Amino acid sequence: MKRTAKRELKYEAIYKAALKVFAEYGFKKATIEDIAAELDTAKSSLYFYVKDKRELYDKAVAYGLRLWQNKVRDAVAAEPDVVEQFIIMAHKAYEYLAEDRHLQRILMRDPALFPLFASQDPYSDINRDSIAMLKAILQRGISEGRFRPIDIDGVAQLLFAFYVMLIQKTYMFPEGALSRIMFKDGVDLILSGLIAENARKQGRQPNTPKPATDERRKSCRKNVRTSARNGPPRP
């Protein structure tokens, strides 16, 4: 059945309320009653939209992931330069969870949302779209002579795996500050390998951030050790 605009808004309201409740209580402790209370509606009314709590959780998280993806897509579309598009995609995708606290806390409670292996990914269709976005940028960069020729499929899969690992390390474990340095250094290193030689000679260099200094890394490692002694952050 095709959703009307009004019904679509209702779904969005339900998903937003569900994300807030699941972030606060976790999947096991959260109840349909909690979500209904957040919406100031009757519990029975939610069953017109979902069959049970598991379906609501899956659809709410998918909704949150799509919002994340769309924000990155919009930022990339607003930038005409393909190298800057690559940088923007990397940074927007990586930093989004710092803004969306509900999705961040759900990830901390449920690390299975970002498995390292695609075969274990419950949201593989969404992540395939993200990889397709990355592949389109790589393809355009090669076509314009900005990136050197590469195996686009293989490199896109490799970069996405690197991204997932850093998301996990940044938002789920105490070494978050050090992981941010790893991310910035990693993007700089990846771009150094991608940029075509003729683009370098023409001086068409991307506006990449400066790599972290050794002093900055030592400071972050000290913070990591302190965080490890105190235990991981609680969602």
Q: What is the pLDDT of residue 122?
A: 82
* Of 161, 205, 210, nearest in space to 184 by CA: 210
Domain extent for 83: 58-230
Distance CA(85)–CA(79), nearest Å, equals 6
Q: What angle do CA 77, 82, 87 make, to 5 degrees?
A: 85
Which one-letter DSSP state was computed for residue 41?
A: S
Distance CA(179)–CA(171), nearest Å, equals 9
Distance CA(62)–CA(77), nearest Å, equals 22
Question: The tokens of 16 are what?
Answer: 């937003």
* Cβ(109)–Cβ(27) below 8 Å: yes
Tell me if 40 is assigned to some domain. Answer: no
Distance CA(211)–CA(63), nearest Å, equals 35
Q: What is the pTM of this model?
A: 0.80
Q: What is the pLDDT of residue 235?
A: 37
Cβ atoms within 10 Å, residue 170: 21
If you search the block for the tokens 């150094």, which residue do you land on?
192
Question: The tokens of 181 are what?
Answer: 């340095």
Tell me if 127 is assigned to some domain. Answer: yes
Number of domains in the chain: 1
Tell me if 9 is assigned to some domain. Answer: no
Tell me how far CA of residue 79 lies from CA of 72, 82, 125, 193, in angstroms.
11, 8, 25, 22
Per-residue tens of pLDDT for the chain, all 235 residues:
566 888 899 999 999 999 999 999 999 999 999 999 999 999 999 999 999 999 999 999 999 999 999 999 999 999 999 999 999 999 999 999 889 999 999 988 887 777 666 677 788 899 999 999 999 999 999 999 999 999 999 999 999 988 888 888 888 776 667 778 888 898 999 999 999 887 665 655 555 545 445 554 455 444 434 443 444 333 3
Tell me if 44 is assigned to some domain. Answer: no
Tell me if 80 is assigned to some domain. Answer: yes
User: Sign of dihedral through CA atoms 171, 86, 209, 71?
Assistant: negative
Which CATH number covers residue 74? 1.10.357.10
Which one-letter DSSP state was computed for residue 2?
A: P
Tell me if 207 is assigned to some domain. Answer: yes
**H/E run at residue 14:** helix 5-29
Tell me if 202 is assigned to some domain. Answer: yes
Q: What angle do CA 77, 119, 52 make, to 5 degrees?
A: 85
Tell me if 51 is assigned to some domain. Answer: no
